[in-house]
Structure 1
Amino acid sequence: MSNTSYPFKENSNVMNVQGGEKKVMKKILTVALSTAMAFSMFASVAFGDTAVTPQQKFDALAAKGIFNGYPDGSAHLEKEMTRAEFAKVITKLLGLKEVTGTLSYKDKGYDAKNWAVPYIEAVTAAGIMQGQDNVKKIFNYNGKVTIQEMATVLTRALKLEIPANPNNNAADWAKGYVQAAIDKGLISKDANFKANASRSQLVEAAYAIDQATNITFTYKVVDPSNVEFTLSTGEVVKVKLDKPLEANKETEVKFKDAAGNEYTAKVTWVSTAATKVSSVSAASLKQVVVKFDGTVDEASAENVNNYTLGTAAFESATLSDDKTTVTLLIAENSSALTNQKQTTLKVNNVKTGDGTKTISQNVDFTPIDVAVPEVAQVTGLGTKAFKVKFSEPVKASTVNATSFRIDGNVIAASVKYVYPDTAIVTTSLAVGDHTLRVSGVQDYSGLQIVPVENKFTVAEDTAAPTVVSVKSNDLKEVTVEFNETIKSVSSAYANVSSNTATISKISDNKVTLTFANPLNYTENTLHLAGVTDYSDNSGNVDTTVTPTLDTVRPTVVSSNFYKDGANYYVELQFSKSLKASSATDSNNYVLKKSNGDVANVSSVDSNGHPVIKPAYTESTKTVKINLGSSLSSTETYTLTASGIADTAYVSNVLLPYTATLTPNTVQNGNISRVWADVASGKPNFIYLQFNKTLATTGNGSALDAAKYSVKLPNGNTYQITKDNNDIDLISTNTVRIAVTNVPSDASWNGEVFVNASYVADADGNYFNNGSYTVTGKLGSSQVTVTGDVYATSTSQVKVNFTAALSNVNLGDFKLTNGAVPTSYTLSGDKTTLTLNFESGTLQPNVSGVTLSITNPSTQDAYGNTIVATTKPVEDGIAPSATGVAWTKAGKIYTATITANENLTITDNASLDYINKLFTFSIDGTDAKVTKVAKGTETNQIVITAEAQNKGDIGNDAFVSIKLDGTKNSAVNAITDGKDNALNAFSYATTNNNIAAE
């Protein structure tokens, strides 16, 4: 078949379908039909498919005006059809435009009054039918349609490829068309091609084509980068988009079916997920309400660590039922907000409702508490107590017995205050209706409740509390919910009386139990003794619980690299509480240079571990690491955290997390990358990626159109866009700006510079150290390899890119020897790609190996592909020892080490330091290493040591030598000449196996 694209016209009736699908009717308006569809349909109807009879097919076509019956109302499928009638059928079937005012043939009676002329001219203009005598220009419109003519029309209409060597007995002019129809199973090879075709055969062919021209499909947006189309034939086409869909924006998507036919659809990803914080408010000085513009993920939205408000600590974060609003409760022992004074809430790492993005945003707001507290609800707790719930958090110091009057009378009572808004008042009450009057209670702004009578009913309560539900938190904490407010619990244990519980909290009708010893993994029996309500109904309660283990690993939710005074610090905030011993263990943090070597700075030891013990703050779940003052401004470092455990009974351990640290930008923010979407030589959008999270509110907001300008090659400067609506924050550090304010005739041919002025980071610091303007040169949207490509082992190659990658295709990469990677990993900032190959793919010295990137589809987070290139693979593989040769002369022992690469001994380390890299042991006593030198071969080193043993050394005495690889890599003392430090090794033998010199 020909490789032709098929244009479709959308029906104007577009319907929304549940689940984000749309249904669009498609009608082929050109002769380029859906070939494969027609093949299968025609073949099935022509050779035995009896699901639909020829008469039924005729009726269906007649209803569309494609076929006409005889005057007697019958189809007469057994009869033959004239060429004029067939021309009309084809015109109607394919939706061709009837042609008038043209007479291409000279048949008798072929004039403007002839009903068939518009149809004959239409199929002639489309190249589907032609005259029987082209010399005399005779169409023969009253002639019959032969099978070979029918085959010819089908072949042309379906755009079948004509075989080069047809083998059939059709007329010479028809052989190729007939053979194409035979090869596709449309007609039998044994047919009499010159015989007339019956109306029934023509109906079958027309019905097959008509079915192929009416194709419907639905689509479903799986995620912003993947759409599934389901054709009415049942075929499902999965399309991965080069550029992710934007929420709630119609986008044109092209796709092809299995036969190669192309379709065009307008797709809209309907998303109710949030994109940002729409507002923050505080009508109470102890509660903050965060409103998102859509739904958010419950787990991240209710993580109090994802919100920062000065020094305030949050007790809880509660997501509304519609998942759009979070209410933050400030802890009781934390200072309240200041009324009518602007402050800033930092929202970090709250995931959107569809999980595709995270929201990190600073929002300025002003608490306004002008409403007096009110009694929201009064509940009788039997005849001995009642419960009052207030409309907002109130001060505990103002809630006391004198605050309450029952039926106008002062009462003798004791009051239990439950933060933030509940009071339980114990006093004697008669059965029946009562009125409560509350006075003196104040909220945190000092506003006092207005005394108003509230009615409530007291009923006799003679039943002991019963259990409603039991929930566990790991293996050591259980919350039991009762059907009423609980006054006290005498004791509790699990399974056996010796496994006692501490009654750690009673909050209204919930009792929290904490166990010193863990519960069983399977079902546990809980016994609570003396469970008493406020009517003094008491009973023992037995219930069961199967603990839900905490199996969630801690994660790093944010990292902050900053400088305070002379020292650099990294602060990591975690998603949950950590074991302090693991959080402050220096061995769980490693500082390295960008090439993977341990950083040689005074703040870390030879293993890269911080010398100063990290500090952990439980209230904010943060670890602060002091990296000293000696980091180089010309170097990029990585700090990897690993082995850090949470407080779960069965500890969950952090997966290795790596933060990239760039000292030269730790104070001065800058534009790290600028690129554009270009059409006809002019950009439609300009993208600016900064090296820090951007401010989106306040004076430093990155969403202000007036802050961006371009300087074109002719020296003219223009503001990029007119309207703030044309600026989108597409990630926490990247903005997309529509180019709407530059003259249409402006030339972009040459160097273009983009300026951003008065833009601040999320902490309110202006970029470029306060000089306000940062400039970036407009470059390609493509992502390039930066720096050298290194082999870090015989099965790993490391590649650095100019932007973070999000979609890696291993098929893009190949080594000189044809090897392709089997897997990959990305660094924490996703700019470093490590390709994993089969073991032993590379030689230790990586001589002559190159890495090729060909026809790449690997992309960054914005859909920009990496650039094809070929780069030599540099040697980043640490050499290894392959053997040892021993000699001795008296008490002087020598070990000659052979490596798999040539070795170099550096001049940068003292001889004493190099000697101390080795441990040379003789019969259990450390010998004194006196010399480390190159051997006679370039891949050898010789270590000489003097035995310190008293007396003779027996023949069975063990002799061993060991290299401390960590210390060696810290200063690259012994390397392969390319700064790859010799790996650790250890060899041993007995004294009698060492030859004397």
Structure 2
Amino acid sequence: MSNTSYSIKENSHAIVNQGGEKKVMKKILSVALSTAMAFSMFASVAFGADAKLTPEQQFNALKEAGIVSGFPDGLSHLEQALTRAELAKIIVNSLSLEPVSGVATYKDKGYSANHWAAPYIEAATQAKILEGSNGLFRPSDKVTVQELAKVLATALKLEVPADANNTASAWAKGYVAAAVEKGFIPEGINYQAQATRSQAVVAAHAIYEANQVPTVKSFKVVDPKNVEVTMSNGEVVKVALEKALEANKETEIKFTYQGKEYTTKVTYVTTVAQKVASVKAENLKEIIVTFDGTVDKASAGDEDNYSIDGKSFDKATVSEDKTSVTLLLSNSTASTLVNQKQTEISLKNIKNEDSTKTFTQKVQFTPIDVTAPTVKEVVDLGTKAVKVKFSEPVREADALSSINYRIDDKAVAASVKYAYPDTVIISTTLAEGEHTLRVSGVADFSGLSVAPVENKFTTVVDTAAPEIKSIEADDLTKVTVEFNETIKSVSSAYANASSRKADKIVINDNKVTLTFKEGDRLIQGENTITLTGVSDYSGNSADREGKVTPVLDTTRPTVTNVDFDKVGVNFVAKIQFSESLKDSTAINKDNYKLVDADGKVASIPGVDSNGHPVRTIGYNETDKTVTIDFGPKFDKKYTLQISEVEDDAYIGNEILPYSVVLDPAGTEEGKISRVWLETVPGTVNGKYVYVEFNSAIATTGAGSALDSAKYSFDDAATTGTVERTRLTNKAENVEPFSTNTVRIYSEDVNLSVGDELFADYIANVDGEYLTDGDYTLNATINARNTVVTTSGDVEATGTDSLKLKFNSALNYVSAREFAVVYDHDGNTVTDATYNPSDYSLSDDGKTLTLKFADGNKLPSSFAVGSLKVQTVGGATTQTRDTFGNVVNINTAVVDKIAPEVTGDMVVAAIGANQYTATFNVTEALTNKVGSAYINSLFSVKVVDAGGNDVDVTINSVTAGSTLVVTFTTTKEIGGVDTPYTINAADFVKVSLDSNPGAITDGANNSLKTFGQSRR
């Protein structure tokens, strides 16, 4: 980089730059904001791509912009040497600095505030771009080429190389090299010679042009995929990103504004979670999932969003800072972790706090329980019971055994109650005063027992019945009452009237939860909750009453996850919601509609004419999941629209309309996409076998694709039963070649093209085994020049375009290596050959669109099989995939060219007030549905010369070699519809407003919509 401060002494004066004040540099940053951006467009202005303008023409452009002026004789005199005064004016005007008037800081003879160059000299001085020496500026002194280079390089912050080698003075070599590279001065001249006005003009023109480009002023990250960029002219550019920004990381983005590409760096600053930071278990019943930021409490606190094979969870507790979740496994042997054994937990549908990211992933962790439980606290419950809380979950059998507890070093004849996971209540009579509790034999779920340490506590006589501390109600069905002490029992509970009893009473320490059935729900206003026989462990009992106004559930349900997969041969969607649903709305078929990309009802047997599912919809209340079976026919991407589904709140909350794309391609079973063979140069029998899978593969663990023992082949030369032969015996000969491909080295002489290759127990990167009915995948081995094939139909989407989808990403394409041949009658004579002029390739490299120019366009219609696309280079074809495999195809083209109207509309009278509008079309058409429906798709507008609308009735639409719309015109005169004759000055417009497959060509392509008018 260039230095931010410099000073050169040459011919008793200096040219310097040390920063500059804002008042005179208001726009210099706009020029220097992005050297890469500005000079990617203008680097070669002087001597490269934009050398169309001569220096004289550039001078005239600058003169018109007021940056330079000619001599009194009207000429530019570009051949003359450049003076310091002229340089000052050029620099100030080129950088849009404000001239400084009324000031003269130098003492040169004849120099004053009235000097023609004084405003420019003073502005350049204040900006620290130019500076005098010993109080003199010397306006008439000549500037050398290398001095000009240094001023340009520093003012525009050009990259200045440290090792430049040219004929400039030692101090100037780097600056000259920078200016030469950007095209501001020519290479190989005498850099120590006086600079000409021509050289200054060429550089100034490039600077001026660059300064016309708006620059990036600031940015705002709306969300990880959307950024708003404010330009220097005040306009805001909304940039939608294909790839979401990583949190708290500076990222370079590109966008186009006013036809120019910009690059800037942005940072998405957030404290919400972006990843799972850790998963750990320090005992065998609790798992702590920690995130790197805050999470959504509702989804993170839903235990159904976590799973471990064969185990279940009791609850998920989100920490107060919302950065971690503690999962409590159920109290059963089956739901106990195994100490020091790697375990995998699945997380799904967990959102971060601003819902910009949803965590659906698997995380491996190893439980490590090496710490024995301890007594965390001992709390007296009066003189008849004591509560013991442990530091971690303990086993129920140990906790319930009274012999494991000694009070004042005496065995206790006590009743022990266990509350999973870590609490026991010992009921025994105790005297007032201090006591000592010793616990032994109580073990955690790894078998580590509590150390027999004494714990002191003090008992006090309790003569007061429990009192209510707080009471809360949730949506008319659930009431939680918190008391001031641990509750032993509650006789009954009801709301408002004794007849509206609680269906369930659950006691958990000092909290009592009441659940009410449908017919006994609370009212929406204030309720009186009565609990009878509320008893503590001292035998104190009383009826307690409290008032509560329920907080209604007003949160709409949302879709948290959609799985679309094949179950057997049927395509099944499983939609999980954020909360429990009202059954009647969850299974109502009318609430689900399947449509295509154009919004039309899907044409598959699994839905009716309105797009609603025809099979019974299932709803699982436990995991809040709706299951829709669409049957075996699901031919392409469709959109499932979900609406009017309600949660099970007393006053149901309805989901906002939600849409999700269901893609059958994503339901594809695991398989080997392709296998090809390549001879290894320099070996006798060495062969590389490339095996490409249809998903990214595991390279570690049990499902690793790098295990040579998993690969075998069946020699195609043999007959009869399959005889699988190990492909290699050397594990080191299997290596990853890409995320979904391995390369295997083999010297087996029997291995050849045409053999069948097998791969057993291969897993994807998520650890799920790839299966295609079983765990053995197979594919035929191809040669390199036959392995790249088209995937699906090759479609002519227009007379100027042909779309090919390949089974592999292409790395290099040559359009001239493709040809489309046409043979209309199937004989050996080719009717025509069409050669593409250009192409485009999709981002994933798998979809190639060949383009055809005027005079060489494809036919607008053709019979099935009559049009084929071929590669013409054979094995030498340069169009290849990312692995270097040759594209070699000869594939029939499917007609997907939509017919369209051509030429001008012809309106003709066929009766007194009856007319036809006739249109030429690119190919013959057919009406596919009834005339009434087709008529409704068209509109005809007639306006008379006075600007009055004429009533029009469409009588018929005839589709064939032409398209003919017949219509009648009338006009209301004196309250009576009267036939109207169209005049030459009248406006007539005929439009096809929509066409959902009603008028098509022979290949069932819909006629394009149109609108034509005449006056």
User: What TM-score, normalized to structure 1?
Assistant: 0.50
Q: Does 1:478 align with 2:484?
A: no
Q: 1:379 to 1:697 in 2, by over 3 A?
A: farther
Deviates more, 1:636-645 or 1:272-281: 636-645
Distance in 2 between the 1:672 and 1:580 partners? 43
Distance in 1 between the 2:733 and 2:31 partners? 38
Q: Is the 8 A contact 2:613 2:628 kept in 1?
A: no
The aligned counterpart of 1:830 is: none
Identify which of 594, 599, 610 aligns with 2:605: 599
Distance in 2 between the 1:479 and 1:153 partners? 82
Aligned residue type for 1:577: S
The aligned counterpart of 2:774 is: 770
Aligned residue type for 1:319: V
Deviation at 1:547, TM superposition (A): 0.4
Distance in 1 between the 2:181 and 2:490 partners? 94
Aligned residue type for 2:207: L
Distance in 2 between the 1:598 and 1:281 partners? 49
Deviation at 1:346, TM superposition (A): 3.5
Distance in 2 between the 1:597 and 1:512 partners? 51
Distance in 2 between the 1:216 and 1:568 partners? 49
Instruction: Tell me which of the two structures has the higher relative contact order, counting C-alpha pairs closer than 8 angstroms and 6 or more residues apart.
Output: 1
Aligned residue type for 1:599: P
The aligned counterpart of 1:303 is: 302
Distance in 1 between the 2:500 and 2:131 partners? 91
The aligned counterpart of 1:860 is: none
Q: Is the 8 A contact 2:604 2:634 kept in 1?
A: no
Q: Is the 8 A contact 1:29 1:94 kept in 2?
A: yes
Q: Is the 8 A contact 2:592 2:612 kept in 1?
A: no
Deviation at 1:668, TM superposition (A): 3.8
Aligned residue type for 1:455: K
Deviation at 1:660, TM superposition (A): 4.8
Q: How does 1:196-345 map to 2 (within 5 A)?
A: 221-227=221-227, 239-246=239-246, 251-254=251-254, 262=262, 264-265=264-265, 273-275=273-275, 279=279, 281=281, 283-284=283-284, 286-290=285-289, 296-320=295-319, 323=322, 325-332=324-331, 335-337=334-336, 339=338, 345=345
Deviation at 1:706, TM superposition (A): 12
Q: Is the 8 A contact 2:565 2:666 kept in 1?
A: no
The aligned counterpart of 1:348 is: 348
Q: How does 1:454-469 map to 2 (within 5 A)?
A: 454-459=455-460
Deviates more, 1:616-625 or 1:646-655: 616-625
Q: What do the CA deviations read for 1:75-115 (whole angstroms, capped 9, x no partner)?
A: 99xx9675559969777645688999979xxxxxxxx99x9
Q: Does 1:555 align with 2:559?
A: yes
Aligned residue type for 1:699: A
Q: How does 1:882-921 map to 2 (within 5 A)?
A: none
Q: Is the 8 A contact 2:225 2:244 kept in 1?
A: yes
The aligned counterpart of 1:406 is: 407
Q: 1:872 aligns to what SS in structure 2? A: coil
Q: Is the 8 A contact 2:226 2:241 kept in 1?
A: yes
Q: 1:387 to 1:978 in 2, by over 3 A?
A: farther
The aligned counterpart of 2:944 is: none
Deviates more, 1:491-500 or 1:550-559: 491-500
The aligned counterpart of 1:420 is: 421
The aligned counterpart of 1:177 is: none
Distance in 2 between the 1:548 and 1:451 partners? 49
Q: What do the CA deviations read for 1:619-667 (whole angstroms, capped 9, x no partner)?
A: 444566788xx846989999887765443222345667778586x9978
Q: Is the 8 A contact 1:526 1:543 kept in 2?
A: yes
Q: 1:61 to 1:634 in 2, by over 3 A?
A: closer
Q: Is the 8 A contact 2:184 2:199 kept in 1?
A: no
Corresponding pairs, count: 681
Deviation at 1:305, TM superposition (A): 1.8
The aligned counterpart of 2:515 is: 514
Aligned residue type for 1:552: R
Deviation at 1:435, TM superposition (A): 1.7
Q: 1:297 to 1:256 in 2, by over 3 A?
A: same
Structure 1, unaligned runs of 5 or more: 1-6, 12-22, 104-111, 142-147, 162-180, 185-211, 675-685, 710-716, 728-734, 743-752, 790-798, 804-868, 884-897, 904-973, 981-997
Q: What do the CA deviations read for 1:125-172 (whole angstroms, capped 9, x no partner)?
A: 999899xxx9xx99699xxxxxx99996995473259xxxxxxxxxxx
Q: 1:610 aligns to what SS in structure 2? A: coil
Q: 2:437 aligns to what SS in structure 1? A: strand
Deviation at 1:397, TM superposition (A): 7.4
The aligned counterpart of 2:820 is: none
Distance in 1 between the 2:516 and 2:166 partners? 97
Q: Is the 8 A contact 1:700 1:766 kept in 2?
A: no
Distance in 1 between the 2:265 and 2:301 partners? 39
Deviation at 1:316, TM superposition (A): 0.8
Q: 1:305 aligns to what SS in structure 2? A: helix
Q: What do the CA deviations read for 1:889-939 (whole angstroms, capped 9, x no partner)?
A: xxxxxxxxx999999xxxxxxxxxxxxxxxxxxxxxxxxxxxxxxxxxxxx
Q: What do the CA deviations read for 1:372-424 (whole angstroms, capped 9, x no partner)?
A: 54322222334443221122143167415444322112335443322222112
Aligned residue type for 2:605: A
Q: 1:568 to 1:48 in 2, by over 3 A?
A: same
Q: 1:102 to 1:800 in 2, by over 3 A?
A: closer
Q: Does 1:158 align with 2:234?
A: no
Deviation at 1:508, TM superposition (A): 1.6
Distance in 2 between the 1:659 and 1:545 partners? 42
Q: 1:8 to 1:404 in 2, by over 3 A?
A: same
Q: How does 1:646-657 map to 2 (within 5 A)?
A: 646-653=647-654
Q: 1:253 to 1:688 in 2, by over 3 A?
A: farther
Deviation at 1:224, TM superposition (A): 3.4
The aligned counterpart of 2:837 is: none
Q: 1:368 to 1:267 in 2, by over 3 A?
A: closer
The aligned counterpart of 2:615 is: 610
Q: 1:788 to 1:435 in 2, by over 3 A?
A: farther
Distance in 2 between the 1:157 and 1:216 partners? 19
Distance in 2 between the 1:496 and 1:56 partners? 93
Q: 1:756 to 1:643 in 2, by over 3 A?
A: farther
Deviation at 1:314, TM superposition (A): 2.0
Q: 1:624 to 1:505 in 2, by over 3 A?
A: same
Aligned residue type for 1:437: R
Q: What's the RMSD between the two structures over aligned residues?
A: 7.1
Deviation at 1:483, TM superposition (A): 4.6
Q: 1:650 to 1:125 in 2, by over 3 A?
A: closer
Deviation at 1:232, TM superposition (A): 9.5
Aligned residue type for 1:647: D
Q: Give the fraction of aligned pairs with identical amino acids, expressed as a percent.
A: 36
Aligned residue type for 1:485: T
Distance in 1 between the 2:178 and 2:612 partners? 83
The aligned counterpart of 2:898 is: 872
Q: Is the 8 A contact 1:302 1:317 kept in 2?
A: yes
Deviation at 1:775, TM superposition (A): 7.1
Q: Is the 8 A contact 1:880 1:899 kept in 2?
A: no
Aligned residue type for 1:329: L
Deviation at 1:309, TM superposition (A): 3.3
Q: How does 1:688-703 map to 2 (within 5 A)?
A: 690=695, 698-700=701-703
Q: 1:402 to 1:70 in 2, by over 3 A?
A: same
The aligned counterpart of 1:381 is: 381
Q: 1:159 aligns to what SS in structure 2? A: helix
Distance in 2 between the 1:598 and 1:119 partners? 70
Distance in 2 between the 1:512 and 1:875 partners? 70
Q: Is the 8 A contact 1:442 1:449 kept in 2?
A: yes
Deviation at 1:759, TM superposition (A): 3.2
Deviation at 1:304, TM superposition (A): 1.9
Q: 1:269 to 1:759 in 2, by over 3 A?
A: farther
Deviation at 1:549, TM superposition (A): 1.1
Q: Is the 8 A contact 2:589 2:613 kept in 1?
A: no
Deviation at 1:250, TM superposition (A): 5.9
Aligned residue type for 1:317: A
The aligned counterpart of 1:950 is: none
Distance in 2 between the 1:738 and 1:9 partners? 49
The aligned counterpart of 2:435 is: 434
Aligned residue type for 1:596: A
